[in-house]
Amino acid sequence: MYNSSILKIKIFTLLRICAVFLTLATFSIPAFSQEKHEESAEKPFEPSEVILEHIADSHSLHVWNTTAIPLPVILYTDKGLEVFSSSHFEHGHADYTGKYYTYRLVEDKVKIVGANNILADSATVWKWNSSLIDFSITRNVASMWMGMIVLLVIFFSVSSAYKKRSGKAPKGLQSFMEPLILFVRDDIARPNIGYKYQRFMPLLLTVFFFIWVNNLIGLVPFFPGGANLTGNIAVTLVLSVITLIVVNLNGNKHYWAHIFIPADVPVWIWPLWWVIELVGIISKPFALMIRLFANITAGHIIVLSLISLIFVFKSMGIAPVSVAFVIFMDVLELLVAALQAFIFTLLTALFIGGAIEEHHH
């Protein structure tokens, strides 16, 4: 009797968990089914287009089906500043004539429409264009701000709790955050940096929780989640550059002597040694950037590909298999979200520790 009731409770709990995951998985389906059915009912489904659209940045926040929240478009042109709502583009189906130019949204990129319908791209890192510099608030920027607000609320609440409950056992959110903070301190900072770890704790805590929280927000398949922030190469680039700057600015004389005046290396090999060491300085943060970007983006692509199978085969018979694998991947992505935050923080601490390590005779 007792065992039977426990079994019923466990089965009921399992059913509820499955129901929640199935509900979350179905949130993505309307977004796939709305691919211009009105224009052409016979147009073949292109999974690559849909997947790339979902993992890319956007000028609006998708809420549900065709409902989206437009974001501000901020453009600096050679004639002046222009600010307007992305709703004027009507999801890329209409041009907008501003004060100075006419603009068009092509694959979520704002372009100037010139004479004879010639399009001028906005400036990028690789191709500069002073006529159009895009400072728009995109979905990734909005998601980043959202993550920052979450972090500020959490840490101000925890800080206030420590002040009010000084000398007492942690309680509530404080009791959840304290083991995580101690984990970063005792298992990441201390072993890899040494006795100077306290100086770098703010950086390591910020990097760890920023990556983890934004990874989790990206896993939420409905508003306000769904942004691929940490799968954006620009975001991981900035994080890795911060690591590069901190490591090399804090490098002691032994660190730089090892690079430029190695004691155990013949002088005639020094030029080659310098090249190897300088490549190593750049490759370390580069590896951080690519690792985070590739793992997060790959996870999103796999989940979207599995959902796409339903529309590729045009059969609901494939749906149970597809949804089952999506659920499995979502659970795996929860682990990856924390694991990538841990790896990035661990390697950052390791690089800092190597730069400030005292010389051993």
Q: Which residues contact 252 (CB under 8 A, 6 or more apart)?
A: 355, 356, 357, 358
Judged against a pLDDT cut of 70, whether residue 4 lies above it is answered with: no
Q: What's the rounded Cα separation, in Å, for the pair 337 and 218?
A: 9
Mean pLDDT across the chain: 83
List the domain range (segments joined by +) for residue 261.
Answer: 141-356
Q: What pLDDT is stored for residue 25 in this prediction?
A: 41
CA distance 180 to 96: 48
119 and 163 assigned to the same domain: no
pLDDT tens string 60-97: 888 877 788 899 999 998 888 999 999 888 888 888 98
Find the mean pLDDT for residues 30-58: 65
pLDDT in tens, 98-115: 888 889 888 888 888 887
- CA 152, CA 159: separation in Å to the nearest integer? 10
Give the pLDDT confidence of 218-232 residue by residue, as tens digits: 988 878 788 889 999
Look up the pTM and report it.
Answer: 0.82
**Residue 318, number of CB atoms within 10 A of its CB:** 15
Residue 28 has pLDDT above 70, yes or no: no
Q: Say yes or no: 159 and 217 in one domain.
A: yes
Q: Do 127 and 245 lie in a common domain?
A: no
pLDDT for res 125: 61
224 preceded by a cis bond (ω within 30 of 0): yes
- Residue that is written with structure tokens 């400030």 in the block: 356
Shared domain for 90 and 155, answered yes or no, is no
What local confidence, expressed as pLDDT, does residue 293 receive? 94
Helices (H), the chain: 2-26, 29-33, 47-55, 139-164, 173-183, 190-193, 201-219, 233-249, 253-260, 270-313, 319-356
Cα distances (angstroms) measured from residue 111 to each of 124, 138, 232, 247: 12, 15, 21, 39
Angstrom distance (rounded) from CA 138 to CA 98: 19
Structural domain total, the chain = 2
Is the residue at 254 inside a domain? yes
The per-residue pLDDT for range 253-274, each reduced to its tens digit, is 888 988 898 888 888 988 999 9
The residue that leads in pLDDT, 348 or 168, is 348
Residue that is last in its domain, among 96, 114, 136: 136
245, 166: one domain: yes
pLDDT at 132 over 50: yes
